[in-house]
Structure 1
Amino acid sequence: MRGTEMDLAGKVAVVTGAASGIGRALAGALRAAGAEVVPADRDEQALAKAAGELEAQGVVVDVSRYADVRRLGDAVMERHGRVDLVVNNAGIARIAPFEELALTDLEQMLGVNLWGVVHGMKVFLPLLERSGGDGFLVNTASIAGARGGPGLSGYSVTKFGVVTLTETVAQELARSGSRVGVGVLLPARVRTAMTGHAGAGIPGVLEADDVAEIALEAIRRRDLYIVTHPEALDSVRERHRRIEAAFEAAVARSGD
């Protein structure tokens, strides 16, 4: 749903993976915009520090566990009686060639990056609907959800899944006439604890706070695709060109 700009002041916002990186930056930006933030993370110590800085009450959650996410939803409704914005941001990465990835690496990434989003949507979409406003839900994917690359096989599987899930649910919500909207965040290179400090000084690498500010403006607009690195467009276009070329060749063959 697109309409008037979303006013974040006084809104109840849930952010998972909020103890560090993009999640922490988003939680801080939302707090500065006047939202009541409920930060969630599986790292209890880091969450306690972040929650203190946000003047908020955090909830320890492992998003790969549906029961944990249900408990988060219950806690939000008990404390605030409503929810207006949800950011399914928790994520992990293991960047390595496919042959070097253990099954446990793949299971963990699928559990947090993809199942965590599924759990968040299953729990919070009905709560957003029940809250009665123009709610919005954001899923953090990655530019790796729009095009792959060496070392990204497992990670991209999870992020492509997040992108197509968000796109499909957006269509379903629009078809049903829902006032709730969804969006997907597609960052490229961001300097966080996940990536370490290797990105320092490299052109195109953004700080988490920069990503959060871009995302916040897109959330206000209720954008479906939240793009933070426009310079990544050529790599996405190249993937699409290869797909289109394959279809064009099939069309030509069908006319033989």
Structure 2
Amino acid sequence: MGTELLGAELLGKVAVVTGGSSGIGLGIAHRLAARGCHVVLIGRNQKALDDAAAEMNGTAFRTDVTDADGLREVAEAIKARFGRLDILINNAGIGPVARMADMTRADWAWIIDTNLWSVINGLDAFLPLLWANPEPSYILNTSSISGMFTGPTIGGYAATKYAVVAMSETLAAEMAQAGGKTSVSVFLPGPVRSNIHESDRNRPQDLDGQLKSMRLEDAEGFENVTIPWMDADDAGEIAVSAMLAGTLYIWTHPEGTAPISARFRAIEQSIKDSKAG
């Protein structure tokens, strides 16, 4: 990462990034820091957090995003230290797979807690700080390209990511209705280099379930596919640039969205058929 400031619009701003010590979260944090932000990283791996924070002169908090009280404590610490928050990046998540017929209630609890409740907890903890800030502020919720279409074995993951899209759309409308001071974006990345395929490292020890981590190369339907991997810092630059531009839907791989267009066409056709019937 270069040390140059990419414009001064974020100079001195304070940004929270959950899941910020690796992968997409770290890529976003790098690009925010390059623009002059003080970045507050939240995650579970203390060493990775400390290393990343030292690299960008940021701040690290070891907190589980499923712990609502823990995130509120971080919000209080940010308020006490900086007196403000300008940017919230709800990014933490996991990506294990299993067929829905095989998933246990424990599986559902794990993936919903980590991918959906983490966003809810982040909004609960940090939205009051954003709302109290008289200057423009930003929220970016990381969903996935699978937040717009799905397939075999990713039903649990897609269900949570669809929900993040719906929450982001609703929040964007509500923020606009309230005056537009806080803009909302939803990030819909495709294949980005990260360690999401190692989600089992954060698997609760008492989890009795079938969700398993898997590399995309080994997933059903991808055995003979050339996957257009993107570097996490490049994905972070896309996310931050589009967020600052006020873009609601942010894509890393627009060329891979044909299944989404097909889904929309099928929906539109079903509406036409219903009207005709």
TM-score by length of 1: 0.91
2:179 is aligned with what amino acid?
G
**Alignment match, 1:236:** 260
What SS does the aligned partner of 2:172 have? Answer: helix
The offset of 1:11, in angstroms, is 0.9
Deviations 1:160-184 (A, max 9, x none): 0000001011111111214111110
The offset of 1:99, in angstroms, is 2.4
> What are the equivalent positions in structure 2 for 1:124-203 lying under 5 Å apart?
124-195=126-197, 202-203=226-227
The offset of 1:54, in angstroms, is 2.1
1:218 is aligned with what amino acid?
A
1:162 is aligned with what amino acid?
V
2:150 is aligned with what amino acid?
G
The offset of 1:46, in angstroms, is 1.9
Write the distance in 1 (CA, Å) between the matches of 2:270 and 2:253: 27
Moved more, 140-149 or 170-179: 170-179
1:25 is aligned with what amino acid?
G
Q: Does 1:204 align with 2:253?
A: no
**Is contact 1:97–1:151 with CA below 8 Å preserved after alignment?**
yes
1:101 is aligned with what amino acid?
M
**Is contact 2:86–2:137 with CA below 8 Å preserved after alignment?**
yes
Deviations 1:82-123 (A, max 9, x none): 010110000011122212323222211110110110111122
**Is contact 1:6–1:222 with CA below 8 Å preserved after alignment?**
no
Write the distance in 2 (CA, Å) between the matches of 1:140 and 1:38: 17
What SS does the aligned partner of 2:257 have? Answer: helix
**Alignment match, 1:74:** 76
**Alignment match, 1:248:** 272
> What are the equivalent positions in structure 2 for 1:97-112 lying under 5 Å apart?
97-112=99-114
**Alignment match, 1:225:** 249
Write the distance in 2 (CA, Å) between the matches of 1:36 and 1:156: 32
Write the distance in 2 (CA, Å) between the matches of 1:202 and 1:22: 21
Write the distance in 2 (CA, Å) between the matches of 1:51 and 1:191: 20
What SS does the aligned partner of 2:185 have? Answer: strand
The offset of 1:6, in angstroms, is 8.6
What SS does the aligned partner of 2:197 have? Answer: coil
> What are the equivalent positions in structure 2 for 1:40-59 lying under 5 Å apart?
40-59=42-61
CA RMSD of aligned residues (A): 1.8
Which one of 8, 12, 27 corresponds to residue 14 of structure 2?
A: 12
Which one of 237, 242, 246 corresponds to residue 213 of structure 1?
A: 237
Deviations 1:131-175 (A, max 9, x none): 111000110000111111111100011000000001011111111
Unaligned segments of structure 1, at least 5 residues? none
The offset of 1:198, in angstroms, is 5.7
The offset of 1:124, in angstroms, is 1.6
Write the distance in 2 (CA, Å) between the matches of 1:12 and 1:134: 12
Q: 1:112 to 1:6 in 2, by over 3 A?
A: farther
Write the distance in 2 (CA, Å) between the matches of 1:178 and 1:198: 38
**Alignment match, 2:209:** none
Write the distance in 2 (CA, Å) between the matches of 1:243 and 1:49: 47
What SS does the aligned partner of 1:190 have? Answer: coil
**Is contact 1:76–1:83 with CA below 8 Å preserved after alignment?**
yes
What SS does the aligned partner of 1:191 have? Answer: coil
Write the distance in 1 (CA, Å) between the matches of 2:11 and 2:119: 25
Write the distance in 1 (CA, Å) between the matches of 2:228 and 2:49: 29
Unaligned segments of structure 2, at least 5 residues? 1-6, 199-214, 218-224
